[in-house]
Structure 1
Amino acid sequence: MIDTPAIKSRFEALAPHLNERARRLFVASEADAAGRGGIAAVAAVMGVARSTIGRGLAELRSKEGASSRRIRRPGGGRKPKVETEPGLLDALSELVQSAIRGDPEAALLWVSKSQRHLVGALSQRGFTASQKLVGRLLRGLGFSLQANRKTREGTSHPDRNAQFEHINAQINGFQAAGQPAISVDTKKRELVGDFKNGGRELRPRGDPEPVRVHDFMLPERGKVAPYGVYDIAANAGWINLGITSDTATFAVESIRRWWRELGQSRYQEAKRILITADCGGSNGARVRLWKTELQTLADQTGLSITVAHLPPGTSKWNRIEHRLFAFITQNWRGKPLLTHQVIVQLIASTTTEKGLTVQCRLDKNAYDKGIKVSDAEMAKLNIKLDDFHGEWNYTIDPRTPGLVGFVATAFRLR
């Protein structure tokens, strides 16, 4: 006689721990042990179809079934969406590819190609797919989430590489002669106040630094323009922290202050100086005020000033960008730039394992915009253009040599 209550008790105890195949084999083994009439009895007690018990008995008696790891027989289970809805994969691929190519008729050209938007676009075409399914299909098609990459530099000048070689040769020549060679530029203007600053810093868990929601300038604090001078040989930086406009007058004043506080003591035998700068901005190659202010600086210091501009569109290759500005940004990441004094201290505390040191001073002078330089003033410049791209490479010598020595000495004694 078949002990059906015992069979039912054993099944109910084990069922939560068994997968589909294990349950099938269990009921088959119970039916086989019950003998004649076992299949009908077990099917009635456990609520399992006789065909399921029959498949289980076949697996128990089959040598191949013992080594198989399959839970269901081949072809069992729910059919994939790509089979039940033919064309789903092609429609998804078309939606993504058309948006990438910039097809003006693409459904997703002007929105992000998120899984949610793709699901909606597929739904409009009559397909039903969840966000998870779309994600799996996209991975199968070779797509993944990726950010933009800055690689396009715009129009490349044919003499770009030649200009870089010229700059490097100039730097090597000045350094070999013990003359200063500096790289200059203005770092990105920054808001002063309790504004969010990119990056993160260590703080107690759940206690982030509170900052303003919107980045609207505070009139009483304004913005700062950090103009940098990087001494290439000394691996030393100087920041003149301006609080008004970033003009050519401000740029040259920053170089003047560097020379007065650091340069002239570091290079006591200097007779000339090399300045490498971007082709645009306040120290641009076409800025007339930049050249006239450099002429004034040359007259004051007695130095012959050679300028070599980087080719257009290559500002990221300026040495000051990756040897000074990058480390300042790392040093103040995650810290709100609350006051001028905080910014000065954060910049001045920037160091690297390779010996970079930085000094910073606050420049409270006001620099007016829109100063025009006439042709007559340009004609008075003691400037010599190089034979190779004179618009990028030129030297400004002091005027009236007899007076230069007296002016330069007085400048140094200030």
Structure 2
Amino acid sequence: MIWIMTTIDQMRTRFETIWPHLDEKGRRLWAASEAKAYGRGGLKIVHDVTGMSRSVIAEGLRNLAGESVLPEGRIRRTGAGRKALTKINVTLLEDLKALVEGSTMGDPETPLLWTTQSLRTLATALQAKGHKIGHVTVGTLLANQGYSLQGNRKTLEENSHPDRDDQFQFIATRVADNQAQGQPVISVDTKKKELVGLYKNTGRAYRPKGNPIKVKGHDFEDKELGKVAPYGVYDLMHNEAWVNVGTDHDTSAFAVESIRRWWYLMGKERYPEATQLMITADSGGSNGSRVRLWKTELQKFANETGLEIQVSHFWCAAEETGE
């Protein structure tokens, strides 16, 4: 009896020492070799010491005996191993998307998305819904869905309005409702104004050696060419964007004209049965919530097309701080 206890203790010591350094295949073969060396009852002893399932140890014994030969470079046979959680629980991915939908930020010009909720917070919320999942797996699922890990950026304003998050949630709900009904939802904004002419741009291009493209030495506005104001219209449903480049001022008339051109050149074809149009926009600029001309021009557009137009504005820092 003393010899048996000593042998098991030695096996446990070897197990604790070598286990962290082995992959799945190595652990299976090590456990099988220990069971084989122990002799009769070895499979049960190794199972008790390591916690490995008996079927895995038995598979290792078959590997050692040459009865089950794995292809080169594989640690298990094809089709073996644990199934993905998303296949075991078909609602997992939908529940995860629902949690991050209202807290997702991103640039509509790129496929990158990121969420303001931590992985552990999301994992806890999913566990409350009955899912057995850890924060590491949550991170893997988010990465597979196009989310990325982002560094901090100074974007938070002080004295944030207490209803700010409620407004974002309200807009997200309205967007989802309109999309569910097949109605168009667009996000509009004026992009960075650009000088027109031979001005320096960042980046490089292949040219004959010693023959770079010559540009102006100073970025003063050309009085004849002036600046251009790109106004973007982003279709959330189809992930498509329309940019109208204006050479005049960024006015509300220009903003609505950009929406009008998007509708007749893209939107009307995409949504032939549309009766409504939802617009999301910032609270400032040519499409600001307090700009009377913006509302007047939108009414003209509504009368012209027969569309019922809904506008939802996001919070503006200037409105919150009183600037």
Q: TM-score w.r.t. structure 1 length?
A: 0.39
Say which one has the larger Rg: 1
Q: TM-score w.r.t. structure 2 length?
A: 0.49
| Higher relative contact order structure (alpha carbons within 8 Å, sequence separation ≥ 6) | 1
